[in-house]
Amino acid sequence: MSEPRLTHLDEAGHARMVDVGDKDTTRRVAVASAALVLRPDTARMLVEGRLPKGDAIATARIAGIMAAKRTPDLIPLCHVVSLSGVEVEVEVDVDAGRCRITATATAADRTGVEMEALVAASTTALTLYDMTKAVERGAVVEHVRLESKTGGVRGDWHRDGAA
Amino acid sequence: MSEPRLTHLDEAGHARMVDVGDKDTTRRVAVASAALVLRPDTARMLVEGRLPKGDAIATARIAGIMAAKRTPDLIPLCHVVSLSGVEVEVEVDVDAGRCRITATATAADRTGVEMEALVAASTTALTLYDMTKAVERGAVVEHVRLESKTGGVRGDWHRDGAA
Amino acid sequence: MSEPRLTHLDEAGHARMVDVGDKDTTRRVAVASAALVLRPDTARMLVEGRLPKGDAIATARIAGIMAAKRTPDLIPLCHVVSLSGVEVEVEVDVDAGRCRITATATAADRTGVEMEALVAASTTALTLYDMTKAVERGAVVEHVRLESKTGGVRGDWHRDGAA
Amino acid sequence: MSEPRLTHLDEAGHARMVDVGDKDTTRRVAVASAALVLRPDTARMLVEGRLPKGDAIATARIAGIMAAKRTPDLIPLCHVVSLSGVEVEVEVDVDAGRCRITATATAADRTGVEMEALVAASTTALTLYDMTKAVERGAVVEHVRLESKTGGVRGDWHRDGAA
Amino acid sequence: MSEPRLTHLDEAGHARMVDVGDKDTTRRVAVASAALVLRPDTARMLVEGRLPKGDAIATARIAGIMAAKRTPDLIPLCHVVSLSGVEVEVEVDVDAGRCRITATATAADRTGVEMEALVAASTTALTLYDMTKAVERGAVVEHVRLESKTGGVRGDWHRDGAA
Amino acid sequence: MSEPRLTHLDEAGHARMVDVGDKDTTRRVAVASAALVLRPDTARMLVEGRLPKGDAIATARIAGIMAAKRTPDLIPLCHVVSLSGVEVEVEVDVDAGRCRITATATAADRTGVEMEALVAASTTALTLYDMTKAVERGAVVEHVRLESKTGGVRGDWHRDGAA
């Protein structure tokens, strides 16, 4: 591999999928959350199943679970992990005009599952938006964030004062 | 997570991908079968390689193998499993007008591979239909079913009197 | 391209994705159906939402709709079509132990959408199996078949005496 | 289809991919935005290319563009649209600790491309999080929202006072 | 969008999926080729169907056709095109130790289908390698290249003296 | 399974995904390379970031990494492996008109990762072609080949005199 006139372009700074082969396989759990902020009347239609596209919450939860499994297809440098479980909860506060999504991903693997939980929460929120956008185009996804992670060499992590 | 006015929508009954992290990793084998019932003259064209779209059986077997690997993309609550092998056999009984498909999936994992075998058998049958539908639109896929499974905590299972 | 000693392996008979560029773009509708045959007590658990994996029917319908969109990834020689709509209905006859699935695919395209409807019906049935298999491993998918197609140069087609 | 004892489960309220075959094909443009809120020192590492996983912004922009193309795989009831263009911009305000993402999707199709723009913005933000999470696990994705849409029968829409 | 302290990172030079909405929809054809160079005895096993993994040529051709449909998933800035046809030919010159692959992609679209033809040819060649690598690990894919393209505003293009 | 009049079509010779369940899980590393041969002036535009589609090298490297993860979707008989790392390097020799790509895939698994490394190298090269084809349609991908593999029962392998 001795090509003398090369212009090397792969010095530090370029993206790579870091080798995690030396890390231990441990049980990993990550919890992420997101919120969809919408009008109370839209939230009411959602809860009462009166949206034109149909059952928003069941659709959104399944979308979130399926998206978690596709995380390595979406996030370029994510490893393929063997998810052992995914759960997505949706709570709707009609008066406040707010759907709160909590996604939990678990795996026994060499890397964490934070991105899987975040992708699940985010996709659930976006699917809720898709189901409601015919009646309210301006709803906003807020606070897509990690709540906690456990397992792995760097130890556990919990967001302070997570709501 | 104490939001007082919430309407909880995730009580028991909503879909989730169950955590299998506590299950043992064991060798799993599942066999599934399916049949495509078609006219004897269509079956003859298929066996003799005279279909307009080309070699139906090679195409269908490969489709079945590839679909098995994509099972978690198709079946929402299926776990991603590390398939160690997939085989698909197609037998054609020309006089009876019947293609019989047998798919075997194997893995060393925490969950069974029944769905992988069923998806392989079903996709093989549908691909055979796709290859023959220009000459016979009314062919029917029948008897997509599990024949046996071995491995896993709940023990082995074999269909009684499987044909 | 004059290589004299070639062994030609691509004579008639080998698979190809036929060029449909000369066909007209017309409105296409295809209806397919399938059935999952299971025990009445399993059917009752399914209808009453008492299955361990959760809400089977909502999950299965969404799986069928999503699978329809992925038909060209599954069926090797299927064209990518612009589906304009997909609907999946699930009817459960508890006493007869039977879930009947009807999938309708529509598109304005150069090729028909029979495979999209069949993939939707088949995937819905397999997902129902996945949701129920913890309580009944022996359920069988039957009668995956085209019910009708309209649009396209070859004219409409309807199954005689469809049940 | 006269099965007398059926329990009909597909009454209004269940999800379906609405048929848009009667809508006109018009030029559609949607703009969505999102923000990743992080610490100024993390933002500085990002801008200066000193993150352990490499070049975050190039990676995130490409992730956003690729995700836009996969929107119908992620959002269950989204139609497959022929995107004619996708652009993703990332602006980093180091002092404020904020990456602002703007995604523009365009198509000539029967349905809008709001979801494509939102998926692009959201995936770009999540990829930036993935690239920075080794140095700051608590960064948050905020304000994933539609900024404007043009084209389609329902007319144009612009967020009031969009920041 | 007037944020004064921004560090703009999206000046010219960053990747984008160029908007082709103003281009005309015309019939596009692209032909690409590739070669797998291997030992004559391996080529003989391939032609005679004696490879351990099975029928290499049928498998490789189907892989090439399916990969063409997935081009926008693989090549980041490729548009999703409506392929109207894909054909893959494989010719084996046993004495010369050479498999020559020719892939033809056709579409009526706003962008060309060069990448689809190249992805088909390349994936066919890599699949042939996968099928033969148990007997010869050192085979090499050579000359993956466009042979011709027709249609589109920039006119037709043909490789001079294509072999 | 005793159907007397069957025409057996699955004798030796048909494709199957071989069961690797009995192989040991060992650390596997594979290195593959490829080259894109283009005109020096095109190579110069690429290095200087003056291509119409934007930053070619960052885009191509990410495309290669993402494609490696999708290898089992592309190569029909490849197993799904748990890649622990993927790196792609691109070196451009402007005067020689040559981009040299080196891809390294690592995993702890029962099968090798040669195909993952080859798919990464090949997709990187094709993406570079896609980014440059507006200025030079005739560039050619050459020498897509395995350079070395380590791990696995059959021992290590290194190409002699690899350039």
C-alpha distances out from residue F85 to B54, C147, D99, F107, Å: 40, 48, 28, 7
- In a domain, residue B12? The reply is no
Output the pTM of the full model: 0.93
**Tens-place pLDDT, residues C8-19:** 444 446 788 888
Rounded CA separation C144/C126 (Å): 11
The answer to whether C24 contacts chain D (CB < 8 Å) is no
How far does the CA of residue C68 sit from the closest CA of chain D (Å)?
Answer: 10
**Tens-place pLDDT, residues C57-66:** 999 999 999 9
Which residue segment(s) compose the domain that F40 sits in?
A: 26-151
Rounded CA separation C130/C128 (Å): 5
Task: Quickly state the pLDDT bin for A13 (edges 50, 70, 90).
Answer: low
CB-neighbour burial class of residue B102 (10 A; exposed 0-12, middle 13-18, buried 19+): buried
Q: What is the mean pLDDT of residues A39-56?
A: 92
pLDDT confidence of residue E161: 52
Computed over every residue of chain D, the mean pLDDT equals 89
The answer to whether D73 contacts chain F (CB < 8 Å) is no
**Tens-place pLDDT, residues C68-126:** 999 999 999 999 998 999 999 999 999 999 999 999 999 988 889 999 999 999 999 99
Rounded CA separation B36/B51 (Å): 16
Among all residues of chain E, which has the CA nearest to that of C72? E69
Residue F144 in this model has a pLDDT that exceeds 60: yes
- Please list the ranges in chain D whose pLDDT falls under 50: 1-12, 162-163
- Nearest CB to A20 within list F80, F85, F102: F85
Rounded CA separation F78/F59 (Å): 25
- In a domain, residue C13? The reply is no
The answer to whether D134 contacts chain C (CB < 8 Å) is no
CATH code assigned at A119: 3.30.70.640
Positive or negative, the CA dihedral F118, F123, F128, F129 is: positive
The answer to whether E156 contacts chain F (CB < 8 Å) is no
Among all residues of chain E, which has the CA nearest to that of B58? E58
Chain C residues in contact with D3 by the CB 8 A cut-off are 91, 93, 96, 100
Contact between chains at E65 and C16 (C-beta distance less than 8 A): yes
- In a domain, residue F20? The reply is no
Rounded CA separation F29/F116 (Å): 10
Task: Quickly state the pLDDT bin for A161 (edges 50, 70, 90).
Answer: low
Which among F55, F57, F43, F47 has a CA at the least distance from the CA of F89? Answer: F57
Chain C residues in contact with D10 by the CB 8 A cut-off are 61, 89-91
Q: What is the CA B138 to chain-centroid distance, rounded? A: 21
Q: Which candidate in F9, F66, F122 is best for mutational testing of the E interface (most E CBs within 10 A)? A: F122
The catalytic residue positions of A are 130
Among all residues of chain B, which has the CA nearest to that of E86? B53
pLDDT confidence of residue B24: 83
- In a domain, residue A16? The reply is no
SS3 F146: strand
pLDDT confidence of residue C161: 52
- In a domain, residue D145? The reply is yes
Residue C44 in this model has a pLDDT that exceeds 50: yes
- Establish whether A115 is an annotated binding residue: yes
- Establish whether D115 is an annotated binding residue: yes
**Domain count within chain A:** 1
The answer to whether B73 contacts chain E (CB < 8 Å) is no
Report how many Cβ contacts below 8 Å link chain C to chain D.
78
Q: Which candidate in A81, A83, A104 is best for mutational testing of the B interface (most B CBs within 10 A)? A: A83
pLDDT confidence of residue F5: 39
- In a domain, residue A63? The reply is yes
- Nearest CB to F55 within list D58, D63, D66: D58
SS3 E60: helix
pLDDT confidence of residue B161: 52
- In a domain, residue B30? The reply is yes
Q: Which candidate in C51, C59, C62, C130 is best for mutational testing of the A interface (most A CBs within 10 A)? A: C62
The answer to whether D88 contacts chain E (CB < 8 Å) is yes
pLDDT confidence of residue E13: 62
SS3 E16: coil
ipTM, two decimals: 0.93
pLDDT confidence of residue D104: 97
Among all residues of chain A, which has the CA nearest to that of B72? A69
- In a domain, residue C133? The reply is yes
The answer to whether E91 contacts chain B (CB < 8 Å) is no
**Tens-place pLDDT, residues E35-62:** 999 999 999 999 998 898 888 999 999 9
